[in-house]
Amino acid sequence: MIDVRELTKRYGSTLALDGLSFQARPGRVTGFLGPNGAGKSTTLRVIVGLHRPTSGVALVNGRRYADIGRPLHEVGALLDAGAVHPGRTAYDQLACLARGHRIGSSRITTLLEHVGLGAVAHQRVGGFSLGMRQRLGIAAALLGDPGIVLLDEPVNGLDAEGIRWVRDLMGTLASQGRTVLLSSHVMSEMALIADHVVIIGRGRLIAETSMEELAGRFRRDTLVRSPRQGELAAILRGAGASVACEPQGGLAVTGADPATIGDLAARHHIPIHELTPRGATLEDVYLDMTDQAADHRAGGASR
Amino acid sequence: MTVMPPARERALSPKDVVAAEWLKLRTMRSAWWIWAGAATYTLVGLAVIMMHIGSYDQASPQERASFDSADPAVAVMPIVAFFIGCLGALAITTEFSTGSIAPSLVAVPRRVTLLAAKTVVVACVAFASGVLFAGLSQLAALLLLGDRPPPVNPWPHWSDAIPTAAGTAFTTLVTALVALGLGALLRSAAATVAVIGALTVVVPSLAHLLPEALHLRVASVLIPNLAPQVAGAESAYLLSPPVAIAVLTCYTVVALAAGALGLSRRDV
């Protein structure tokens, strides 16, 4: 369980985190979303004690990270897959981290095979692709069999097969009762992986909700095309629907479902060329939310 | 807002953290290159000593009477100490340049513990290297000098070479620990190596440009010049062995404390 309370982090005149609070609970995958620069990495670094918050606190199972006696058995983190010594082999890379916790070589070998790096275990990391480094970073995060897993943009650089592998792995970890918190700036990735989402923008919480609830916020309308568009619009408005003209032609109708629109048109003998129910994608919802946050801040700055 | 007081949890064993740091240093190829550099320079220094003895043999008796001594503590060890200092610096600056400091601190969140473990590893490697290179170069110098008399022979008896070797091994150790502390503070290999180069090579040379009285006062507290003073060897410098040891200890403590403070206070 991760409990982030009122975190604020100021770098000089920049406010990277602004009173951010959220929780990541065991047994589910929590997606940590926000545009680049929203403060996701800063938050994760505060959680594991690399950055000191200006105010507020991040608790790991009720206490600060630095107070955990043997942290790798409690928290596994992948913060930056590139943060490795290029001259070390994959095996040595993990061994350097594992040695302090007395995690043995059989665990390292098993994990390297588990993440698909068994064949290159004794090759230098310098020659690894970003995808391979991500896999190595995930192996490092799992070294101590931790109950909490934090991953910063874990699917960056992975191919389609790798992304599916991460998705399945995260699902498995959560189903074992672990707390999984993973950040991304791409909504579509999260839509498939996460059960719960925390969305931040400019260091502030925008939404903390379940993926289902977020999907329920879809803005719905119907696209209607007709050669007698003006007449149809008037009739629909008369029936209480709101109608907007689409830039590419056609009417965007809300407040009337496709059946009602069709019936109304038939009654007035107006031909219909297209009738398409539309839902905003999760991506649109997310972009909307984060745009608003950005606008809000931009407006605030110019005041 | 309530935060639970730190529970007393079974912490990592210091021995394991030291073992992890030793593994890190051992698996860092640049460390081996630097060590090989120190070994190579020992050979270069011995070649210089050999030529020095050659020119002594061809000199007139008057010239011989004022000949510089063929002392590896002067010709070899300051540069070897600089190499080993670089090794001490890299033990931490490499973590910053590659970013691996982040996973390191995620595994060992108590930063002073991490620096202490690095200190133990660097101290052992530096002292062992100092003993090795000082011992070998002095042994070689003894063999090359044969029964030539002072002043070209710095040691009237072979056993007189031992305190000097111990003194240079000690200054090598101090150089490496000062480099580690500065590396933790500065976080940059280039900056740290520049400062160590200044402390061990540049400033001692420039000090000769000072007026004689001032030169001795300044030169006496410079790390490489403290080696003969620790050994109690005959030199123009001013400090007694206990004071020289105290000055070297000060260098080490100040640099490591500054490093610990810088590492603890600043974000990673």
Q: A-B interface: how many C-beta pairs under 8 angstroms?
A: 113
Flag whether A162 is in a domain.
Answer: yes
- Co-location of A152 and A255 in the same domain: no
Please provide the average confidence, as pLDDT, over all residues in chain B: 93
CATH number at residue A112: 3.40.50.300
On whether any CB of chain A is under 8 Å from the CB of B107, the answer is: yes
Flag whether A126 is in a domain.
Answer: yes
Are A50 and B23 inside 8 Å of each other by CB? no
Q: How many domains does chain B have?
A: 1
**Among partner residues B19, B105, B106, which is closest to A99 by beta-carbon distance?**
B19
Structural domain boundaries enclosing A145: 2-216
Q: Which residues of B touch A5 (CB under 8 A)?
A: 1
- Rounded mean pLDDT, B167-175: 96
Q: What is residue A247's predicted lDDT score, i.e. its pLDDT?
A: 82
Flag whether A178 is in a domain.
Answer: yes
- Rounded mean pLDDT, B49-63: 93
By C-alpha distance, the chain A residue nearest B110 is A66
By C-alpha distance, the chain A residue nearest B104 is A97
Q: How many CB atoms lie within 10 A of CB A189?
A: 21
Q: Locate A139 and state its tokens.
A: 């192996």
On whether any CB of chain A is under 8 Å from the CB of B264, the answer is: no
Q: How confident is the model at residue A151 (pLDDT cuts 50, 70, 90)?
A: very high
Q: How many domains does chain A have?
A: 2
- Which candidate in A10, A47, A50, A149 is best for mutational testing of the B interface (most B CBs within 10 A)? A50
On whether any CB of chain B is under 8 Å from the CB of A59, the answer is: yes
Q: What is residue B235's predicted lDDT score, i.e. its pLDDT?
A: 82
- Co-location of A99 and A248 in the same domain: no
Question: Distance from A174 to chain B by nearest Cα, in Å?
Answer: 22
Are B27 and A88 inside 8 Å of each other by CB? yes
Residue with the bigger pLDDT between B2 and A214: it is A214
Percent of chain B with pLDDT over 70: 97
Q: In this model, does residue B17 exceed pLDDT 80? A: yes
Are B107 and A65 inside 8 Å of each other by CB? no
Q: How far apart are CA A179 and CA A187, in angstroms?
A: 20
- Find how far residue A300's CA is from the centre of its chain: 26
Q: Which residues of B touch A94 (CB under 8 A)?
A: none
Q: Which residues of B touch A79 (CB under 8 A)?
A: 102-103, 106
- Co-location of A96 and A226 in the same domain: no
What does R_g of chain B's alpha carbons equal in angstroms? 21
Q: How far apart are CA A22 and CA A206, in angstroms?
A: 11
Flag whether A302 is in a domain.
Answer: no
Flag whether B7 is in a domain.
Answer: no
Flag whether A77 is in a domain.
Answer: yes
Q: In this model, does residue A199 exceed pLDDT 60? A: yes
Residue with the bigger pLDDT between B252 and A278: it is B252
Q: How far apart are CA A159 and CA A139, in angstroms?
A: 17
- Co-location of A172 and A252 in the same domain: no
- Which candidate in B106, B108, B115 is best for mutational testing of the A interface (most A CBs within 10 A)? B106
Q: What is residue A187's predicted lDDT score, i.e. its pLDDT?
A: 83
Of A163, A182, A216, the residue at which a domain comes to its end is A216
Flag whether B2 is in a domain.
Answer: no
Flag whether B4 is in a domain.
Answer: no
ipTM for the complex?
Answer: 0.90
- Rounded mean pLDDT, A154-166: 90
Flag whether B3 is in a domain.
Answer: no
Flag whether B133 is in a domain.
Answer: yes
Strand order in the sheet with A251-254: A242-245, A251-254, A220-225, A274-279
- Co-location of A32 and A111 in the same domain: yes
On whether any CB of chain A is under 8 Å from the CB of B51, the answer is: no
In sequence order, the β-bridge partners of residue A78 are: A151
- Rounded mean pLDDT, A130-149: 96
Q: How confident is the model at residue A299 (pLDDT cuts 50, 70, 90)?
A: very low
Flag whether A293 is in a domain.
Answer: no
On whether any CB of chain B is under 8 Å from the CB of A102, the answer is: yes
Altogether, the residues listed in chain A come to a count of: 303
Flag whether B255 is in a domain.
Answer: yes
Q: Are the beta carbons of A93 and A125 closer than 8 angstroms?
A: yes
Q: What is residue A298's predicted lDDT score, i.e. its pLDDT?
A: 52
- Which candidate in A3, A97, A150 is best for mutational testing of the B interface (most B CBs within 10 A)? A97
Q: How far apart are CA B79 and CA A179, in angstroms?
A: 53
Q: What is residue B5's predicted lDDT score, i.e. its pLDDT?
A: 52
Q: How far apart are CA A97 and CA A91, in angstroms?
A: 10
State the helix-helix crossing angle for B189-197 and B161-186, rounded to 10 degrees: 150
- Rounded mean pLDDT, A174-184: 96
Are B28 and A87 inside 8 Å of each other by CB? yes
Are B20 and A96 inside 8 Å of each other by CB? yes
Flag whether A285 is in a domain.
Answer: no
Give A49's contacts (C-beta < 8 A, 6+ positions apart): A64, A65, A66, B105, B106, B109
- Which candidate in A96, A105, A138 is best for mutational testing of the B interface (most B CBs within 10 A)? A96
On whether any CB of chain B is under 8 Å from the CB of A83, the answer is: yes
Residue with the bigger pLDDT between B113 and B2: it is B113
Residue whose pair of structure tokens reads 């969140």 in the numeric block: B109
Are A66 and B109 inside 8 Å of each other by CB? yes
- Rounded mean pLDDT, B106-134: 97
Structural domain boundaries enclosing B91: 14-265
Question: Phi then psi for A242, rounded to 5 degrees?
Answer: -105, 140
Q: In this model, does residue A297 exceed pLDDT 60? A: no
CATH number at residue A228: 3.30.70
Flag whether A170 is in a domain.
Answer: yes
Q: What is residue A219's predicted lDDT score, i.e. its pLDDT?
A: 60
Question: Phi then psi for A128, rounded to 5 degrees?
Answer: -80, 145
**Among partner residues A57, A69, A77, which is closest to B3 by beta-carbon distance?**
A57
Flag whether B9 is in a domain.
Answer: no
Helices (H), B99-211: 101-107, 111-145, 161-186, 189-197, 203-206
Q: How confident is the model at residue B247 (pLDDT cuts 50, 70, 90)?
A: very high
Q: What is residue A192's predicted lDDT score, i.e. its pLDDT?
A: 85
Of A46-50, B6-10, B143-147, B255-259, the least confident: B6-10
Nearest to B28 by CA among B160, B140, B121: B121
3-state secondary structure of B259: helix
Q: What is residue A254's predicted lDDT score, i.e. its pLDDT?
A: 86
Are A100 and B9 inside 8 Å of each other by CB? no
Question: Distance from A64 to chain B by nearest Cα, in Å?
Answer: 8
Are A77 and B30 inside 8 Å of each other by CB? no
Flag whether B201 is in a domain.
Answer: yes
Q: Are the beta carbons of A20 and A40 closer than 8 angstroms?
A: no
- Co-location of A212 and A224 in the same domain: no
- Rounded mean pLDDT, B224-249: 92
Of A193, A216, A239, the residue at which a domain comes to its end is A216
In Å, what is the CA distance from B136 to each residue of B41, B81, B125?
12, 14, 16
Q: In this model, does residue A58 exceed pLDDT 70? A: yes
What does R_g of chain A's alpha carbons equal in angstroms? 25
Q: In this model, does residue B155 exceed pLDDT 90? A: no
In Å, what is the CA distance from B167 to each residue of A56, A195, A260, B132, B136?
51, 65, 97, 13, 14
How many DSSP H helices and E strands does chain B contain? 13, 0
In A226-291 the beta strands, taken as DSSP E runs, fall at 242-245, 251-254, 274-279
- Co-location of A163 and A35 in the same domain: yes
Q: What is residue B4's predicted lDDT score, i.e. its pLDDT?
A: 52
Question: Distance from B191 to chain A by nearest Cα, in Å?
Answer: 20
- Co-location of A138 and A247 in the same domain: no
Q: Are the beta carbons of B175 and B200 closer than 8 angstroms?
A: yes
